[in-house]
Amino acid sequence: MKPVLAGMVYGLFQGAQLLIMKAVGLSADPLVLSFSFLVVANLTLTAWISAAGHWPKIAAGWRRWPYWLIVGIFNSTLTYLTVAGVHLSGASLAGVLVRSDLIFGVLLGYLIFREEVRGGEISGGMMMLAGILCVTDISIKDLAHISIGHLYLLLAGLLLAVNALIIKYGLGMLWQPAVAWFNTATASVCLGLVLLLNGAWPGLSELAAPLALLGVLALGAKESLGLLAYYYALASFPAWIARSFSLLAPLVAIGGGWLIFGEIMTTRQIAGTILAISGMIVLHYFRSRRLFSAGGQFTKETTRNFLPSR
């Protein structure tokens, strides 16, 4: 698929995802939200398969339906726990979506351009998400006690670790190329949510940080050290400096990840990066225009839920 067409297809389905999320409402049942995630994921996957001409490979893969069933159950459980955890813990679901959307852009960009996603690149994407969360000053520190939402998110973190082990040690039949982007993107979002909880509740930081790093450690010690150093370096910046670099954070994090891991950026990877940055600019535009209201109507009214949490 040509890069321009790939960007158009991706933008179309990401726009549909935001509209679906607003249509069901931010306070809707987590199961409905999870279903909308899966619907958009399947539509996007279908578009990619059709455009890339992978129908024969996918048709052959369906003969191994038991493995696809296991992967489907895993994805559904992980998505449900993530969305329900955000919903029940009181965080802004739209705020998380705005930031995690960059991870989807990068990873889907890699696969559209038929670039293999290696451990260093996955960790670089995770590092990017952690950097964005830090420099935009996103937190849910107003939570005074642990809740069922926290437990959901911590369980999602455990599933992240399992997912990373699958990537690292290659349970090959569970790791089909057609579902790789969705698995990895969901795991990256879970890592970001666990990092969000770091410091939100007394004692939780001691539990959440090792839990998040457990999944990254499965990808290699070098990537883990890079993530840890970058995360805490950004966290130590004064707030006004951090916010002033918020637009540059994805580019800095992606480039830094590849440089730290000693990986050379190919043309396809650069194209994927540009696609992700373009998506961020579009999302910032919609946020600034305040086109969505909290009730799901397409209006020009201000909505707190669609803006970053402070």
pLDDT digits (tens, 9 = 90+) for 283-294: 444 444 443 333
Average pLDDT over residues 232-241: 44
Give the number of other Cβ atoms within 10 Å of residue 224's Cβ.
18
Helix 177-196 × helix 65-89 angle, to 10°? 20
pLDDT band at 119 (very low <50, low <70, confident <90, very high): very low
> Which one, of 194, 177, 174, 225, lies nearest residue 70 by Cα?
174
Give the number of other Cβ atoms within 10 Å of residue 286's Cβ.
14
pLDDT band at 92 (very low <50, low <70, confident <90, very high): very low
Return the structure tokens found at 308. 């970053």
What is the rounded distance in angstroms from the CA atom of residue 104 to the CA atom of residue 114? 15
pLDDT recorded at residue 62: 52
pLDDT recorded at residue 17: 46
Average pLDDT over residues 122-147: 39
Torsion of CA 92, 214, 239, 289, to 10 degrees: -30
Question: Is the per-residue pLDDT at 221 higher than 50?
Answer: no
Whether the CB-CB separation of 149 and 85 falls below 8 Å is answered with yes
pLDDT recorded at residue 298: 32
What is the rounded distance in angstroms from the CA atom of residue 299 to the CA atom of residue 288? 13
pLDDT recorded at residue 173: 40
Q: 33-37, 53-57, 123-127: which has the minimum mean pLDDT? A: 123-127
- Provide, for the chain, the percentages of residues in helix, strand and coil under a 3-state DSSP scheme, each rounded to the nearest 5: 75, 0, 25
Number of independent structural domains in the chain: 1
What is the rounded distance in angstroms from the CA atom of residue 81 to the CA atom of residue 59? 30
Beta bridge partners, 292, equal 298
pLDDT tens-digit map of 4-24 = 444 444 444 444 444 444 444
Helices (runs of H) and strands (runs of E) counted in the chain: 13, 0
pLDDT band at 144 (very low <50, low <70, confident <90, very high): very low
Which of the pair, 209 or 62, is modelled with greater confidence? 62
pLDDT recorded at residue 219: 38
Distances (CA, A) of 274 to 111, 114, 191: 14, 16, 23
Q: What is the mean pLDDT of the chain?
A: 44
Residue 220's identity, in one-letter code, is G
Average pLDDT over residues 56-61: 52
Average pLDDT over residues 48-65: 51
Question: Is the per-residue pLDDT at 59 higher than 50?
Answer: yes
User: To the nearest whole percent, how much of the chain has pLDDT over 70?
Assistant: 0
Domain that holds residue 135: 3-306
Question: Is the per-residue pLDDT at 64 higher than 50?
Answer: yes
DSSP state, residue 118: -
Identify each DSSP E strand in 209-264 by its residue range.
none
